[in-house]
C-alpha cells in the first residue's frame, strides 16, 4: 500500500485557482509594456510588392513598425520538438511572401492598444496576388509552389520535395501484403476524412518580453516547451542561446497548441529593437486564424480478415494537410498508423503517408497528435468489418488484441510490456449495458438509440529521444524543493510529480515545494507533450529522490559514526538499524548541513527511455438519434483505461473526462472550413461550436490498472489516449441506430438526415 502515490491528493494549486490567485502570463505584465500586434495578410497567397508604414510610424505613441526588411533572414520552425527537429525550417519572422489569410505582414508596437490598432489601419500594402492552393487533395504538383525559397532547410530527409508542395512522405511495409489480402475471406476498404480542429484552450497565446540588467532577453510566456522556445528564439533572432531566458508561469490550457511558438517571436523582436518591455496577447480570432490546429487528413483503410474475425492484413494510406507551414507535420502523420495498426497484430501491413502544403493556416500539435485521426479511420473500418462478418465488434477485438509480451507491428518502441486491454473491453461492455443495447433500441416512433465502441493506444513519451530532468533540494529546516522543467498546463503534473517525490522520500506531500519553470535554473526538460511527463519526468523525479535518500543516509552516518549501510531512514529520522532509539532527525541533519563544514544536499537526475509503453483504452458510446431531423445526442459514454498505476485518481479522472469531451466535439461539432477566398469561416465561438456542459452526459471513467515495469511506480501516460475513441465509437453508434455510416467528420444532423433519406 502506497501512502501518497495512487491517492486522491488535491492539486497543489487548487485553492489558489478557485479563489482567483493563479498567476498567469498576463498577470506578470507591468503596466508600462509596449503593446505589440501584427498586421495580417488578407490573401491566401501573395507577394508583397510594396509596404508603406510612414503614416503609422508618425503616430504619437508608436515605438516601432517592423516589416520583412527589418527582420533577420534566418529560417526556423515554430515547432517545439527535440533537436534536431524533423519539422522543416520554412519561416522567417516576416517575409515578402504571405502564404495564408492571417500570415503576419508587419509588426506594430505602441504605448496604447487603440494607437496600435490605428497604426495597423494606416499601413498601406500592395500585393501581387498568386493562385492559392486551398484543396489539399490537389496540392501535390500544383502549379503554385508554396515554398520556392532557396534556403528551405531540413535537418535530415523526411521524404520532402517542397517544389512539389510535398512536406514529407514515408512508407513502412511488412509481409507480403497482396498475398495475405488474396487469402482473406473478407476485405473491407473505405476512405475517411477528418477536418482541422481548433484546440480552443481558455487562455489565448500571450507573451511578455523585457531586457534584464545584463541586457539578456527575458521571455515570460504561456508555453508548453520553455527550453525549445529558448533555442528557436535565439536562432530566429540571431543571438546566442545564453542571451535568452524563458519563464513559464501558470498556463490556462494548451492541448498541444502551445507546443508551437505563436506569440513569442514578435514581442521578442520588438524588445531587441527598442530595449523596451513588450506584451502580446492574441485575440480569440487570432487564435483561430493565426496560430495552428489539428491537421486535416484523408485516410484510406483496407482491412482483410478471415470469416471468424481474425484480422490478417491492414493497408493504411494517409494524406495530411500541413497548411502553409510544416510545424509537426511529418511527425503527426506518423502516429496515424503506428498507434492503430499495432492493436490488431496483422500478418502483413502497409502504412504510407504524404503531407502537403496548402495556403491555409498551418497545422500543429493537438492532443492525440495524429493517433486521433488514425483511430477514427481504422476503428471505423474494423466496426464495419465486424458488421459484414456478422460478428459482435467487441468479440472481434477480443480475438485480435495483442497479449502481454507480444511484439507490436508498426510500433517500434518495444513489445507490449503491460496490458489490461482485455479487461478494459470487458468492463466497458458491462458498464454501457452492451448486451441489452447492441446494436440499437427504438425509443419511440422517430427516436433510436445505438451503441458503438472503439479501442486505442498511445505512447508514453518518445522512445530514445525525450530527455527530462528533475532536481530535489533538502532545505535547512528539513523540507524539500522539487525543481522541474515540465510545464503544468493545468493538468496537475506539479502535483503528481510531488506525489512521486513524497512517496520516494517517505514524507507527506506538504513537505514538497514545487518550483516553476525557468530556463535559467530549472533542470532541462523537453517540455509537456507526447504524453511524457508522468512517465519520463516522473522517473527522473524518482531517481533524483532515491539518490537524495542515499545522500541523507551518508551524511547522517558520518554524524552517527557508522557506515551508511547501518542506518535506515523513515522520512523523519535516520536511525541505527540495530539501535532504533539512536539517531538524528531529518530537521536536525538539514540544519547541520548548512552550518560550518556542512554539505548542502541537492540531487539531479535525468531520464530517457528506450521504450514507450502504450496506455490502452476502450471507449463505448450510446447516442440518441432523431430520425426526422438527423440530430445526434450522446446520452452515455464509458471510457475504461489502462494507464499502468494511476498516480492520482482524481486528476486522472478529470483528464479522461476532458479528453473524451474533446473527442465528442471532434465527432459531432467542430469543423474549421474556408471560403473560396481562403478566409476561415468560423473564427470565433459564435461560429465554431465546441461541446458545452449541456451537450454531453456525465462521462463515466474507470481504470484497469496494469503495472508498467519501466515506469515510475508502474505508471504509464494518460494525457492523450483518452481523446481517441469518441469519434469512431460515436460514428458506430450512429450507424447502428440509423444504418447511416458517416465517414467525414463532423457527424452533423444534415449528413445523418441525408443518409436516412437516401435509404428511403
Q: In this predicted model, what pLDDT tens digit does every residue of 462-509 receive, in sequence order?
A: 999 999 999 999 999 899 999 999 999 888 999 999 999 999 999 999
CA distance 282 to 277: 17
113-165 pLDDT per residue, tens: 999 999 999 999 999 999 999 999 999 999 999 999 999 999 999 999 999 99
pLDDT band at 379 (very low <50, low <70, confident <90, very high): very high
Say if pTM beats, i.e. exceeds, 0.95: yes
Whether 1 has a pLDDT exceeding 80, the answer reads no
Phi, psi of 670 (to 5 degrees): -85, 135
Q: Of the candidates 50, 31, 524, 76, which has an alpha carbon nearest to the alpha carbon of residue 269? A: 76
Whether 709 has a pLDDT exceeding 80, the answer reads yes
Query: Which residues make Cβ contacts (< 8 Å) with residue 541, sequence separation at least 6?
Result: 470, 472, 482, 484, 497, 500, 501, 504, 605, 712
CB-CB contact of 381 with 304 (8 Å): no
CA distance 79 to 326: 8
3-state DSSP call for residue 466? coil
Mean pLDDT score, 388-413: 94
Residue 702: Cβ within 10 Å count: 17
Q: Is 673 left (phi over 0), alpha (psi -120 to 50) or beta?
A: beta
Query: Which residues make Cβ contacts (< 8 Å) with residue 597, sequence separation at least 6?
Result: none
CB-CB contact of 77 with 327 (8 Å): yes
Q: How many residues does the chain have?
A: 760
Phi, psi of 703 (to 5 degrees): -120, 135
Residue 563 burial (C-beta neighbours within 10 Å; 0-12, 13-18, 19+): exposed
CA distance 530 to 461: 5
Max distance between CA atoms of the chain, in angstroms, equals 90
Phi, psi of 603 (to 5 degrees): -125, 135
Query: Which residues make Cβ contacts (< 8 Å) with residue 674, sequence separation at least 6?
Result: 134, 360, 680, 681
Q: State the Cα angle at 753 between 748 and 757, rounded to 5°.
A: 155
Place of cell 508618425: 58
pLDDT band at 251 (very low <50, low <70, confident <90, very high): very high
CB-CB contact of 613 with 644 (8 Å): yes
Cis peptide before 439 (omega within 30 of 0): yes
pLDDT at residue 167, as a whole number: 98
Element (DSSP H or E) covering residue 187: strand 186-194
633-688 pLDDT per residue, tens: 999 999 999 999 999 999 999 999 999 999 999 999 999 999 999 999 999 999 99
Q: State the Cα angle at 626 between 621 and 630, rounded to 5°.
A: 90
Distance of CA 228 to the CA centre of its chain: 15
pLDDT at residue 609, as a whole number: 96
pLDDT at residue 453, as a whole number: 98
Mean pLDDT score, 220-226: 97
CB-CB contact of 123 with 76 (8 Å): no
- Sheet containing 440-444: order of strands: 440-444, 447-457, 616-626, 632-642, 700-703
- Pairing relationship of beta strands 602-607 and 278-281 according to DSSP bridges: unpaired
Amino acid at each position: 500500500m502506497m501512502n501518497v502515490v495512487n491517492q486522491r491528493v488535491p492539486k497543489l494549486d487548487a485553492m489558489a485557482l478557485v479563489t482567483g490567485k493563479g498567476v498567469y502570463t498576463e498577470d506578470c505584465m507591468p503596466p508600462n509594456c509596449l503593446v505589440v500586434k501584427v498586421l495580417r495578410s488578407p490573401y491566401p497567397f501573395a507577394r508583397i510588392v510594396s509596404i508603406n508604414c510612414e503614416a503609422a510610424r508618425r503616430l504619437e505613441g508608436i515605438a516601432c513598425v517592423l516589416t520583412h526588411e527589418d527582420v533577420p533572414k534566418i529560417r526556423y520552425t515554430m515547432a517545439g520538438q527535440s533537436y534536431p527537429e524533423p519539422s522543416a525550417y520554412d519561416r522567417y519572422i516576416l517575409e515578402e511572401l504571405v502564404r495564408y489569410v492571417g500570415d503576419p505582414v508587419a509588426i506594430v508596437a505602441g504605448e496604447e492598444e487603440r494607437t496600435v490598432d490605428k497604426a495597423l489601419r494606416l499601413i498601406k500594402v500592395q500585393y501581387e496576388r498568386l493562385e492559392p492552393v486551398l484543396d489539399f487533395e490537389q496540392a501535390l504538383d500544383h502549379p503554385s509552389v508554396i515554398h520556392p525559397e532557396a534556403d528551405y532547410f531540413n535537418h535530415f530527409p523526411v521524404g520532402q520535395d517542397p517544389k512539389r508542395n510535398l512536406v514529407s512522405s514515408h512508407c513502412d511495409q511488412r509481409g507480403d501484403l497482396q498475398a495475405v489480402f488474396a487469402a482473406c475471406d473478407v476485405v473491407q476498404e473505405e476512405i475517411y476524412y477528418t477536418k482541422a480542429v481548433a484546440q480552443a484552450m481558455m487562455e489565448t497565446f500571450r507573451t511578455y518580453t523585457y531586457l534584464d540588467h545584463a541586457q539578456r532577453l527575458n521571455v515570460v510566456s504561456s508555453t508548453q516547451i520553455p527550453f525549445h522556445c529558448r533555442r528557436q528564439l535565439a536562432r530566429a533572432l540571431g543571438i546566442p542561446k545564453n542571451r535568452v531566458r524563458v519563464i513559464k508561469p501558470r498556463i490556462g490550457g494548451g492541448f498541444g497548441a502551445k507546443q508551437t511558438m505563436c506569440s513569442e517571436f514578435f514581442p521578442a523582436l520588438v524588445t531587441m529593437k527598442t530595449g523596451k518591455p513588450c506584451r502580446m496577447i492574441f485575440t480569440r480570432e487570432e487564435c483561430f486564424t493565426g496560430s495552428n490546429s489539428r491537421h486535416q487528413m484523408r485516410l484510406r483503410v483496407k482491412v482483410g480478415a478471415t470469416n471468424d474475425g481474425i484480422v490478417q492484413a491492414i493497408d493504411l494510406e494517409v494524406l495530411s494537410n500541413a497548411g502553409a507551414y510544416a510545424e509537426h507535420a511529418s511527425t503527426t502523420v506518423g502516429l496515424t498508423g503506428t498507434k492503430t495498426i499495432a492493436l490488431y497484430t496483422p500478418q502483413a501491413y502497409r502504412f504510407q503517408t504524404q503531407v502537403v502544403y496548402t495556403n491555409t493556416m498551418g497545422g500543429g500539435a493537438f492532443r492525440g497528435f495524429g493517433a486521433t485521426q488514425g483511430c477514427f479511420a481504422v476503428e471505423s473500418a474494423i466496426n464495419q468489418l465486424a458488421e459484414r462478418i456478422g460478428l459482435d465488434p467487441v468479440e472481434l477485438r477480443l480475438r485480435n488484441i495483442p497479449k502481454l509480451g507480444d511484439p507490436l507491428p508498426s510500433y517500434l518502441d518495444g513489445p507490449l510490456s503491460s496490458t489490461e486491454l482485455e479487461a478494459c473491453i470487458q468492463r466497458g461492455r458491462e458498464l454501457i449495458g452492451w448486451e441489452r443495447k447492441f446494436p440499437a433500441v427504438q425509443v419511440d416512433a422517430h427516436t433510436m438509440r445505438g451503441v458503438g465502441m472503439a479501442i486505442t493506444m498511445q505512447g508514453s513519451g518518445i522512445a530514445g529521444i525525450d530527455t527530462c530532468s528533475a532536481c530535489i533540494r533538502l532545505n535547512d529546516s528539513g523540507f524539500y524543493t522539487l525543481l522541474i522543467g515540465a510545464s503544468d498546463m493545468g493538468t496537475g503534473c506539479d502535483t503528481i510529480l510531488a506525489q512521486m517525490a513524497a512517496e520516494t522520500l517517505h514524507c507527506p506531500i506538504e513537505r514538497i515545494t514545487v518550483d516553476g519553470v525557468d530556463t535559467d535554473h530549472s533542470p532541462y526538460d523537453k517540455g509537456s507533450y507526447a504524453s511524457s511527463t508522468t512517465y519520463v519526468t516522473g522517473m527522473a523525479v524518482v531517481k533524483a529522490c532515491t539518490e537524495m535518500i542515499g545522500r541523507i543516509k551518508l551524511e547522517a552516518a558520518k554524524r552517527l559514526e557508522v557506515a551508511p549501510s547501518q542506518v535506515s531512514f523513515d522520512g523523519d529520522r535516520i536511525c541505527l538499524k540495530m539501535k532504533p532509539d539512536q539517531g538524528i532527525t531529518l530537521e536536525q541533519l538539514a540544519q547541520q548541513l548548512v552550518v560550518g563544514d556542512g554539505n548542502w544536499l541537492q540531487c539531479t537526475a535525468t531520464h530517457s527511455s528506450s521504450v514507450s509503453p502504450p496506455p490502452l483504452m476502450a471507449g463505448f458510446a450510446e447516442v440518441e438519434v432523431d430520425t426526422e431531423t438527423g440530430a445526434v445526442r450522446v446520452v452515455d459514454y464509458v471510457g475504461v483505461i489502462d494507464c499502468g498505476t494511476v498516480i492520482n485518481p482524481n486528476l486522472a479522472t478529470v483528464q479522461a473526462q476532458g479528453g473524451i469531451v474533446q473527442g465528442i466535439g471532434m465527432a459531432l461539432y467542430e469543423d474549421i472550413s474556408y471560403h473560396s477566398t481562403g478566409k476561415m469561416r468560423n473564427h470565433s465561438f459564435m461560429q465554431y461550436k465546441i461541446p458545452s456542459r449541456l451537450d454531453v452526459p456525465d462521462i463515466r471513467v474507470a481504470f484497469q490498472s496494469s503495472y508498467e515495469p519501466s515506469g515510475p511506480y508502474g505508471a504509464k501516460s494518460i494525457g492523450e489516449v483518452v481523446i481517441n475513441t469518441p469519434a469512431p465509437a460515436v460514428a458506430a453508434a450512429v450507424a447502428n441506430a440509423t444504418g447511416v455510416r458517416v465517414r467525414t467528420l463532423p457527424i452533423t444532423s444534415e449528413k445523418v438526415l441525408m443518409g436516412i433519406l437516401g435509404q428511403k
